[in-house]
Chain A
């Protein structure tokens, strides 16, 4: 039952407004003096509630979903195998992938047996949901921390493969790569049984159930990809 509204009887001081106004003035003055003092201090971001954007930037969480990048492994090989899972998972249908075989003598450039001959992301349509990242079996596509994506032409907003690889190189140089995903610990014995169980369950229930059940199949994939790529 809703709480009954009790109307408060105003005191005389409250009814003549003036004292309450003085109280309010005191409060605003406190804010004013505090912010005034802080704004006179040297250095960026002195007023705690105000970021002066181009100079001060808020810290970004490592799992931030910004501009995409196509990752390379430690030996500099492209991780992407061109399977098209990301394009399939994408709700905005902004990814175009074409699979191909690496040319003669260029096999060393790619981690897998196949590669993507074309990989474009239409950033005008991307909604930065991060599904592509989750769908990728090789951990090849990742969303980085870049968020200043304005361009002068629409064509420049369609990122091709070179640009996506360059994004990775830039993020690597700046040390902004995502931390490797932690594998979820699974007991050895019932690993297969749990995976089977999880697969049988409808997708909706899975999410609400315990962590283990949802992340097992993923964790296996991740483990596989990590053992191939990053841990070598």
Chain B
């Protein structure tokens, strides 16, 4: 019974935490983009405009919920749910810290340490495309369907290198469990480099980050939305909280992918050269590991925003070209070299 309570607390905590970060990210995105474009952004609601997401949320909730007359009612309402649900549940297998020892009981800071956690994340990431396609199809609008179409076309070009770059990581660590991968990144290798994934898989990380941007539908791969070309893409017809779910799901996706980057390539909760567990108490170590993990994630979240306002959008065929002609061969080469190195060293 006790384990149930702990699991419930963890679920509720990570759920609210993810929502909080996603809400905050809308503010960071707007203020950050404004600063990059020599503007100020929303700075009226609360200190530094921090209550702006709250005001936006209230607005979205109180708006009229419109379903277009000629839309497919079921698919139209299913779209946002199918998009947001995988986004919210994907974080379950990603750790958010090491462990917390309370009253001699060890609590792992991870909702579920699934031994195929990896596949779970990839599968749910691919699931989110259903939300986009069904929303686009159900809207019965040319721009929406174009957005959904682009989403599927994009999926087949980025999902393969995405999986292949992750496969190389699996080869390096010999496990699918994200917690075990995190634990394996402690200490140093070759005497001076921190034992992080980025130093073992530099090419793999570049491939992963590029495909992760495509997975999150962020610039430069935000083709399904492409507001300058197809109005708003798949969510053209959406309003009120249905639109809110789409927008929110995007940020939750970003958070999950940023956390995945940190877990796989940037040593999860480990600091380079410093072993925190040696000089911190059990509770403070748990909190410190959580904070370190979050700070690293926050950097990658910021990178999402930063890249968005720097790089222009890829053209439709350019994404295909990049995916099939550059990323997949590179991912295969990366996988081959990794396999060769492991075969030679073991």
Q: Are A35 and B38 in contact (CB under 8 A)?
A: yes
Task: Give the size range of B's interface with the partner.
Answer: 10 to 19
Which B residue sits closest to A48, measured CB to CB? Answer: B38
Cβ-defined contact, A32 with B39, below 8 A: no
At the interface with chain A, which of B155-163, B244-252, B305-313? B305-313
Chain B residues near A31: list those with CB within 8 A: 35-38
In the assembled complex, the Cα of A36 lies from the Cα of B37 at a distance in Å of 11
A25 at the interface (CB under 8 A from B): yes
Cβ of A38 to closest chain B Cβ, rounded Å: 9
Cβ of B206 under 8 Å from chain A? yes
Q: Using A39-B40, A50-B39 as known contacts, say yes or no to A29 and B307 having CB atoms under 8 A apart.
A: no
> What would be 17 A-B contacts, judged by CB atoms less than 8 Å apart?
A18-B206, A21-B310, A21-B311, A24-B311, A25-B306, A25-B310, A28-B306, A28-B309, A28-B310, A31-B35, A31-B37, A32-B306, A35-B34, A35-B40, A39-B43, A49-B38, A52-B40
In the complex the two chains form, what is the Cα distance from A32 to B206 in whole Å?
24
CA distance A21 to B303 in the complex (A): 12
Cβ–Cβ < 8 Å partners of B117 in chain A: none
A32 near B32 with CB under 8 A, answer: yes
Residues of B within 8 A of A29 (CB): 306
Q: How far is the CB of B203 from chain A (nearest CB, A)?
A: 11
CB distance from B128 to the nearest CB of A (A): 25
In Å, the complex CA distance between A28 and B219 comes to 15
**Cβ–Cβ < 8 Å partners of A52 in chain B:** 40
- The 8 A-B residue pairs with the shortest CB-CB distance in the complex, in nearest-first order: A49-B38, A24-B310, A35-B35, A28-B36, A28-B310, A32-B35, A32-B36, A50-B40
Between A18, A31, A39, the greatest number of chain B beta carbons within 10 A of the residue's beta carbon is seen for A39
CB-contacts of A12-50 with B (<8 A): 18, 21, 24-25, 27-29, 31-32, 35-36, 39, 47, 49-50
Contacts A18-B206, A24-B311 given; indicate if A47 touches B38 (C-beta within 8 A): yes
A180 → B minimal CB distance (Å) = 39
Whole-angstrom CA separation of A49 from B34 in the bound complex: 11
Q: How far is the CA of A29 from the CA of B40 in the complex (A)?
A: 15
Known: A18-B206, A50-B40. A39 touches B307 (CB 8 A): no
- Tell me which residues from 23 to 46 in chain B have a Cβ below 8 Å from any Cβ of chain A: 32, 34-40, 43
Q: Which partner residue on chain B sits nearest A24 by CB separation?
A: B310
CB distance from B33 to the nearest CB of A (A): 9
- In angstroms, Cα B242 to Cα A51, docked, is 35
Q: Which residues of A contact B206 (CB under 8 A)?
A: 18
Besides A21-B311, A50-B38, 13 more A-B contacts (Cβ < 8 Å) are A18-B206, A21-B307, A24-B310, A24-B311, A27-B310, A28-B306, A28-B309, A32-B36, A35-B35, A35-B36, A39-B40, A39-B43, A47-B38
Contacts of B307 in A (CB 8 A): 21, 25
Given A47-B40, A50-B40, A52-B40, are A39 and B310 also a contact pair (CB < 8 Å)?
no
> Which of B43, B306, B307, B310 counts the most A-chain CB atoms under 10 A from its CB?
B310
Report the minimum CB–CB distance from B209 to chain A (whole Å): 10
